[in-house]
Amino acid sequence: MSTLSSQDSGIVIIGAGIVGLATALALHKKGIGSVVLEKAESLRATGAAIGIQTNGWRALDQLGVGPALREKAVRLQALREVFLDNGQTREARLGKEEGRYLLRSDLLQALFDGLPAGTVRFGCHIVKVKTDPVTSHSTLQFHDGNVAIAKILIGCDGVNSIVGESLKLKPTRDAPTGALRGLANYPNGHGFGNDYVRIKKGSVLVGRIPVDHKSVYWFVARPRLPGDSEILGKPELIRQEALKEMEGYPQELTEMVEKSDDSALTFTKISYRAPWDLLLGNFRRGTATVAGDAMHVMGPFLGQGGAAGLEDAIVLARCLAKELCMRPNGDYDGRQLVNKVGKALDEYVEERRMRVARLSLQTYLTGILVATSSMFVTRLIFLVLRILFRGSFSHAQYDCGRL
């Protein structure tokens, strides 16, 4: 296992997922070094693909990886919705909005390749974080009993964040919806075009999204069931469950599930942080904070979780760079420096709070639409969304600014 030395423990990021790597890369581009601790032994892409909309591509361009990643995914042309219960269809052309679905492995690798060698330390399993009340530094306790000190700590460690726990954030909540996901491969091309298609029947929503001309990402969102825990991590059971939920759907969708690789089949119990908890939560303690899902995990119904995390990375690096006078070998000693870090993290939290709270609320309401089969509830939620949010793609028009 890799451990930290006193010379390289200035800024520590926990978690080498998308947001952890993006934060390290953003800091690197501002001339600020960091160490990323990952408990796995190598990069791991949880889930097959991830949607990135206009706001996310703006962040990726700031990180310098946008152009190369665009070559790996087709640009979506329209969102097409089909309601099998009443035969209605609805289509929205994306126009200037840029939406693409990337393989998670491609995105992770692009971010990782932009970092200096040795930035990411694999096999580092953190089990506890404690803040020193005098220095504001964080003590990290490893699984093997070793400890290290982080003078600035950024938790990008997902839903069950150790750093979030140390900040005493309220627990995340379980959504009433579960999601089956997969990636279908068509060696000779799928021929589906470049539209994002969503088909709803009752309380089940099926999505089909092209990644490129030979790969299609799909999902089945449906109410949680008592036996869901039995299919976790079991690809063949996930496939069978998806096919069962797709009874009565077009045959091309069931064929898509049958063509999917076992390695890409997943089932997720969707969880979220309530919008009101985001408005009231304390996301900074001393010189520690959180980003990505550790701060604002939300359902997948807007496809904004990953992009919002990329925004976090840009804003956090920008705020830290504005306040810090970087010194060699991670030398961040002194109460004045602690005050500067605190100010930077407060600015970051304040800038992100309302943005992610609005995203979370819109996602929460959209999730109700997915879960309900009631026409009254559907019309009510559509009305509320129309009042609170301007346009179907307004959430994607946000610009987190320059790095």
Give the contacts of 199 (CB within 8 A, at least 6 positions apart).
81, 82, 83, 84, 205, 206, 207, 208, 249, 250, 253
What single DSSP character describes residue 208?
Answer: E
**Confidence band (pLDDT; 50, 70, 90) for 393?**
confident
- Among 4-8, 323-327, 388-392, whose mean pLDDT is lowest? 4-8
Q: Is 70 exceeded by the pLDDT of residue 399?
A: yes
What is residue 1's predicted lDDT score, i.e. its pLDDT?
Answer: 40
What is residue 45's predicted lDDT score, i.e. its pLDDT?
Answer: 75
Q: Model pTM?
A: 0.93
Q: Is 70 exceeded by the pLDDT of residue 327?
A: no
CB contact at 8 A, 60 and 313: no
Sheet holding 215-223, edge to edge: 88-93, 78-83, 195-201, 204-210, 215-223, 173-185, 266-272
pLDDT per residue as tens digits for the range 77-136: 999 999 888 888 999 899 889 999 999 999 999 999 999 999 999 999 999 999 988 888
Q: Say which residue the tokens 């579960």 belong to.
A: 178
Sketch out the chain's domains with CATH numbers: 11-47+105-172+273-397 (3.50.50.60), 174-272 (3.30.9.30)
Helix-, strand-, coil-residue percentages of the chain, each rounded to 5: 40, 25, 35
What single DSSP character describes residue 35?
Answer: E
What is residue 4's predicted lDDT score, i.e. its pLDDT?
Answer: 54
pLDDT per residue as tens digits for the range 289-310: 999 999 999 988 888 999 999 9
What single DSSP character describes residue 260?
Answer: B
What is residue 392's predicted lDDT score, i.e. its pLDDT?
Answer: 67
Give the contacts of 14 (CB within 8 A, at least 6 positions apart).
20, 36, 37, 126, 140, 153, 154, 155, 156, 157, 161, 162, 163
Alpha helices, DSSP H only, in 129-261?
162-166, 235-245, 251-258
What is residue 334's predicted lDDT score, i.e. its pLDDT?
Answer: 67
pLDDT per residue as tens digits for the range 240-288: 999 999 988 889 999 999 999 999 999 999 999 999 999 999 999 999 9
What is residue 335's predicted lDDT score, i.e. its pLDDT?
Answer: 76
Q: Is 90 exceeded by the pLDDT of residue 213?
A: yes
What is residue 325's predicted lDDT score, i.e. its pLDDT?
Answer: 62
Q: Is 394 exposed, middle or buried (0-12, 13-18, 19+ CB in 10 A)?
A: exposed
Q: Is 112 exposed, middle or buried (0-12, 13-18, 19+ CB in 10 A)?
A: middle
Q: Is 80 exceeded by the pLDDT of residue 74?
A: yes
pLDDT per residue as tens digits for the range 338-388: 889 999 999 999 999 999 999 999 998 888 877 777 888 888 988 888 888
**Confidence band (pLDDT; 50, 70, 90) for 3?**
very low
**Confidence band (pLDDT; 50, 70, 90) for 190?**
very high
What is residue 324's predicted lDDT score, i.e. its pLDDT?
Answer: 84
Angle (CA) 82-88-93 rounded to 5° is: 60
The share of the chain scoring above pLDDT 70, in percent, equals 95
What single DSSP character describes residue 401?
Answer: -
What is residue 202's predicted lDDT score, i.e. its pLDDT?
Answer: 87
**Confidence band (pLDDT; 50, 70, 90) for 329?**
very low
What is residue 377's predicted lDDT score, i.e. its pLDDT?
Answer: 87
More confident residue, 259 or 2: 259
β-pair type (126-131, 88-93): unpaired
Closest CA to 214 of 267, 242, 258, 256: 256
The mean pLDDT of the chain is 91
The share of the chain scoring above pLDDT 90, in percent, equals 74
More confident residue, 327 or 65: 65
- The C-alpha atoms of residue 56 and residue 54 are separated, in whole angstroms, by 5
**Confidence band (pLDDT; 50, 70, 90) for 333?**
low
